[in-house]
Homo-oligomer: A and B are copies of this chain.
């Protein structure tokens, strides 16, 4: 007889793709939720910090190591998993693109990115988790610089603005946005421009790629 619940981690991995916010989903293989989608996760073994388990999980899913990872909160309702009482420490991660995705990860039958608006009914309490993660993401983008982890090393102001518009869900004034962002001194202009269908845009890079509190919006 166990004295205390099991401990797991679950990770909501966000990216921006196709003009919207998406999260990585995996299909549950067995148990009462078999066939349903969920966020990737796994049990925390004795001797390993949950932060480490989350990093490991993330790496094995995306193959990417250079990501932003933050603890969200812990869900512990005894009925969240009907098979056993599992207390889950939830994390959210930001990655710069869909990447290759370990499409052949043996742990899950299927894995795919799904848009955050319009998620299906997920396994466990993961719809609750999705909501928490989204709230946190929105508020963190407003007062920290973590948006850098959603973007490649080189970016244009238009691309940065697009991300903000997608996540906070309303258009921003381009002139005010540019002025504010540049005034923060987080971006360094490069000597190059991005060429595309239209007028070339100045390329910038983040001067510091580490989390800091900054009033972005």
- Write the residues of chain A forming the contact surface with B, with a CB cutoff of 8 angstroms: 2-8, 43-51, 71, 73-74, 76-78, 85, 87, 89
Contact = CB atoms under 8 A, between A and B. Distances in A.
Nearest to A1: B46
Given A5-B7, A7-B7, A47 B87 contact: no
A69 B121 CA distance: 30
Given A7-B87, A87-B89, A89-B87, A2 B71 contact: no
B3 A87 contact: no
Secondary structure call for the A interface: loop
B49 A4 contact: no
Given A71-B73, A73-B73, A47 B6 contact: no
A79 to B, nearest CB: 9
A76 to B, nearest CB: 4
Contacts of A76: 7, 44, 49-51, 89
A3 B85 contact: no
26 contacts: A3-B6, A3-B45, A3-B46, A4-B6, A4-B7, A4-B8, A4-B44, A4-B45, A4-B46, A5-B7, A5-B46, A7-B7, A7-B76, A7-B87, A44-B76, A46-B85, A48-B78, A50-B74, A50-B76, A71-B74, A73-B73, A73-B74, A74-B74, A74-B89, A76-B89, A87-B89
